[in-house]
Amino acid sequence: MKGVKTKMLHKSGITLLLLLALFASVAPARADATSYRLAVLPPEHKLMKDPITGVDLLFVSASSAKDHNLYFHQRSWISDDSMVLFRSDRPGGKLMGYLFATGELVCLTTPAGALLCPTAAWEGNRVYAYRPPDIVEIALTIEPSADVTKAPSTVTATERVICTLPAGTGLNAGLTENRDGTLLGLDLSRPDGQWVAVADVRSGEVRYVCQFTFAGHLQFSITNPNLMSVAGTKDRLVVIDLSQGGQPRILHHQVEGEFVTHECWWINDSLTFCGGYRDKESHVKVIDVHTGEVRIVGAGAWVPWAESGDDVLNRWNWWHAAGHESGRWIVADNWYGDVVVFDGETTQMHRLTLGHRRYGGGLHPEPGWDRSGRRVVFTSEMLGGSHVCVATIPDEWRPDPADEGLIITGGAIK
């Protein structure tokens, strides 16, 4: 790759043990599939407007349960945007869904157990997840009710086991689908250490790619089916190119004292991440994986700690950031639970909704996108407790209908 030096990664706490064409002793997919009905619960949602910005807020869960949206770089919406996924500690919960047509909640718990590390598929209303010891695909058929007060909607799950992990092997937190839907990336723990592996979605064949002493935040690119990234220990941004043998490459060498966190794939083979060089400074940045060039999309604030006196400046520093697949937006949150969006072309910032977390405690919003780029899902503590909230981007922030053709999914704004 031009402009970026390839370097041995042991200095990042990553051990390079590359095994070419090594395939796992993992049971392949079974030919059979099973179908069953999922439990559907009555609506409990709440609608309101943000008291400061006026943006429409939909609290899809408003009970006493502790609910949390999927992690910001996972896909929370199924492909037709009819349902958003979230996690819950309620009985029969673990993985839940909210039906936008009716407001009902769906319990995505299988007869064989709970679904862990879920992500929605790029195409088709399907969910990939880990149900120990299996990696499974759950296809959903949704028949909305005409009147939920008389009869609930019908949601049918058709389950297919992609592969079964052998004894002693488990999935950490990483399950990610590549852009053409042919592979799942797996962050595996085995008796001989931690491995990044890929599973063929159709055949169930698993290939080990490389071994790490530590690897977090495993993700496939949202545009390039061969590119993956992991978070290392010292040098955070590490890229794996399957078309080039899968050798990990440090993308960005952090200098002493530099802050780099919460990377997320965006358009044109780029990653967003948050960070800065000075205490209490965290910009939203974008890095080109081919050149290593970094630019700031959303500027954070910085004042020496002794002069600032309190943490109010963290209201203008960013913690999680995720770009929409169209290239139009990047959403970001901060430690106060504020959620903002940056225009992908002009970098103009819009304050979407504010005050969903108490600084110093509680869950972070960790916002993610729907498929159309019109709604953001995040975790809110605005109502007390932990709830899943969806904010709708106002029409006046969106491009004119005549300009919609300028946004190219998986590409750049031209």
Q: What is the pLDDT of residues 91-129, one digit of tens each?
A: 866 899 999 999 999 999 999 999 999 999 999 999 999
**Residue whose entry in the numeric block shows the structure tokens 């999914």:** 409
Mean pLDDT of the chain: 86
How large is the average pLDDT for residues 207-222?
Answer: 90
Q: Is the pLDDT of residue 3 over 80?
A: no
Phi, psi (rounded to 5 degrees) for 313? -70, -20
How large is the average pLDDT for residues 256-275?
Answer: 94
Q: Is the pLDDT of residue 403 over 60?
A: no
Which positions ≥6 away from 404 have C-beta within 8 Å? Answer: none
User: Which range has the worst mean pLDDT, 22-36, 144-158, 233-247, 273-287?
Assistant: 22-36
188 CA to centre of own chain: 18
* Cα–Cα dist 158/226, whole Å: 28
* Cα–Cα dist 99/121, whole Å: 17
Residue 10: band (very low, low, confident or very high) from pLDDT cuts 50, 70, 90: very low
Residue 174: band (very low, low, confident or very high) from pLDDT cuts 50, 70, 90: confident
Q: Is the pLDDT of residue 167 over 70?
A: yes
Task: Provide the pLDDT for residue 315.
Answer: 74
Q: Which of 199, 269, 262, 240 is nearest to 24 (CA)?
A: 199
How large is the average pLDDT for residues 261-287?
Answer: 93
What pairs with residue 264 in β-bridges?
272
Do residues 121 and 180 touch, judged by C-beta distance below 8 A? no
How large is the average pLDDT for residues 147-169?
Answer: 96
Structural domains in the chain, sorted by start:
44-406 (2.130.10.10)
How large is the average pLDDT for residues 329-336?
Answer: 94
Task: Provide the pLDDT for residue 13.
Answer: 37
Q: What is the pLDDT of residues 290-326, one digit of tens each?
A: 999 999 999 987 655 444 455 566 678 899 999 999 9
State the DSSP H helix or E strand holding residue 4, giving kind and residue range, or none if neither.
Answer: none
Task: Provide the pLDDT for residue 295.
Answer: 95
Nearest-10 Cα torsion for 256, 258, 264, 268 = -80
Q: Which of 177, 248, 266 is nearest to 219 (CA)?
A: 177
Q: Is the pLDDT of residue 372 over 80?
A: yes
Task: Provide the pLDDT for residue 186.
Answer: 96
